[in-house]
Structure 1
Amino acid sequence: MTEARDTRLKRLAMRSMRRGIKEMDILLTRFAEQHLAAMPAEELDLYDRLLEENDQDLYAWITGQQPAPAEFSGLIARIAAPSEATRAAS
């Protein structure tokens, strides 16, 4: 059974909010709110796989403490980029 896009977006947004590490909740929720709705199915597939990764690894990749796996490097760079709201406030 194929998941409806609306249902998928809600599921991914919820998984972005409920990580276990508060820093990851904040980073991924911000990214999800700004980008998920516009992402094509292939990018949503990649984001879904990224959410399967361990929070400690994700945090290290996003903060640049460790290099992200090649599969996720572009997506990690987008997540780590300053948000539009942050840029506007500067």
Structure 2
Amino acid sequence: MIMIWNRKEVLVGWSMEQFYEVRQILANNKIKYTYKVVNNGGATRGRMGRFGENMQYSVTNYVYVHKKDYDYACGLLRNIRF
């Protein structure tokens, strides 16, 4: 089981394509992972609007693997282009 004390981060990014590709590679190689998606917009944005903001950067994606799988996962992800 992956907990906060035994996990390592393999991805921090804004691209959904990158996020899905990393998850697919980890799943195909039977590496267990967890992820977190953070909305950077905040609660006050609904009232003020988002004029002028680049929506590509409104969500940050994090992917974590168990620390024993970290080196293997990094080796697999090193060869993909983002």
TM-score bracket, normalised by the shorter chain, equals 0.3 to 0.5
Q: Normalized per residue, which structure has more helix?
A: 1
TM norm structure 2: 0.33
Q: Normalized per residue, which structure has more strand?
A: 2
Greater relative contact order, per chain length (Cα 8 Å cut-off, separation 6+)? 2
